[in-house]
A and B are shown apart, each in its own frame.
Chain A
Amino acid sequence: DAGVTQSPTHLIKTRGQQVTLRCSPKSGHDTVSWYQQALGQGPQFIFQYYEEEERQRGNFPDRFSGHQFPNYSSELNVNALLLGDSALYLCASRRGQGSAEAFFGQGTRLTVV
């Protein structure tokens, strides 16, 4: 079982550019959530996808958007990058709703210069 996999592991972008991060959930998982973790802080919830729809959204601007594909994998897109978008982006997957535990990937380290 490969667990939750994220790509790329590191990324450097310039202010104003757009970026796409990818997440493949753990086998058997159909719900994917994205979190932003700034240096020295706890992760902040961005949004959650289930059945290819955005189910919940945190306090992030519309520059942050996502998508879930029929195979349950997901993408996080960020437009018009700001220096403050530099962070570790974590993907978490779980099986359905209810009490299931979430499993995290190793994250994508995004640096905006």
Chain B
Amino acid sequence: AQTVTQSQPEMSVQEAETVTLSCTYDTSESDYYLFWYKQPPSRQMILVIRQEAYKQQNATENRFSVNFQKAAKSFSLKISDSQLGDAAMYFCAYRREETSGSRLTFGEGTQLTVNP
């Protein structure tokens, strides 16, 4: 079974600075997707960034970028120029497509605090 591990229950960063959230996963598959989701107090899970395992290039979305190390099964999220609105719980997630469907496997989350 696939597992996703986030070893940092809490992180904090100063506004305008950079922070990196860590994620490792375990799978025997070679074709899959990885995601970072943000969950603010409103509870809605919002997709931040996604990475296809077959792509060597790291995904970027504005201030958000990932460091995808497939051999090491590592998938970290870097947030640059942190803003107060970035404060939230961040979840790393894994998904593999199967003929029967798919499911997201989430880590335990990292609570990010942004200090003004």
Minimal beta-carbon separation of B76 from chain A (angstroms): 17
Contacts beyond the supplied A55-B101, A105-B44: 16 A-B pairs with Cβ under 8 Å: A33-B104, A35-B104, A40-B109, A42-B108, A44-B106, A45-B103, A48-B103, A90-B45, A92-B104, A97-B97, A99-B97, A103-B47, A104-B37, A104-B46, A106-B42, A106-B43
Give 8 nearest A-B pairs by CB, closest first: A42-B106, A55-B101, A104-B45, A45-B103, A56-B101, A106-B44, A48-B101, A107-B43
- How many A-B contacts are there with CB distance less than 8 Å? 61
Query: What are 16 sample pairs from A and B whose C-beta atoms fall under 8 A apart?
Result: A35-B104, A42-B93, A42-B106, A42-B109, A43-B45, A48-B102, A48-B103, A55-B101, A56-B101, A56-B103, A92-B104, A97-B102, A104-B37, A104-B45, A106-B43, A109-B43
Question: Considering the chains assembled together, what is the distance between the CA atoms of A32 and B78 in angstroms?
Answer: 30
Which of under 10, 10 to 19, 20 to 34, or 35 or more describes the interface residues of B?
20 to 34
Q: Does B100 contact A (CB under 8 A)?
A: yes
Q: Are B52 and A99 in contact (CB under 8 A)?
A: yes
Which of under 10, 10 to 19, 20 to 34, or 35 or more describes the interface residues of A?
20 to 34
Interface residues of A in 13-69 (CB under 8 A from B): 31, 33, 35, 40-45, 48, 50, 55-56, 58
Question: Considering the chains assembled together, what is the distance between the CA atoms of A79 and B107 in angstroms?
Answer: 28
Chain A hits for B106, CB < 8 A: 42-44
Question: Considering the chains assembled together, what is the distance between the CA atoms of A65 and B106 in angstroms?
Answer: 22
Q: Does A70 contact B (CB under 8 A)?
A: no
Interface residues of B in 77-116 (CB under 8 A from A): 91, 93, 97-98, 100-109
Q: Are A101 and B50 in contact (CB under 8 A)?
A: yes
Chain A hits for B93, CB < 8 A: 42
Chain A hits for B64, CB < 8 A: none
User: Which residue on A lies nearest to B52, using beta carbons?
Assistant: A99
Question: Considering the chains assembled together, what is the distance between the CA atoms of A98 and B97 in angstroms?
Answer: 6
Minimal beta-carbon separation of B102 from chain A (angstroms): 7
Q: Does A80 contact B (CB under 8 A)?
A: no
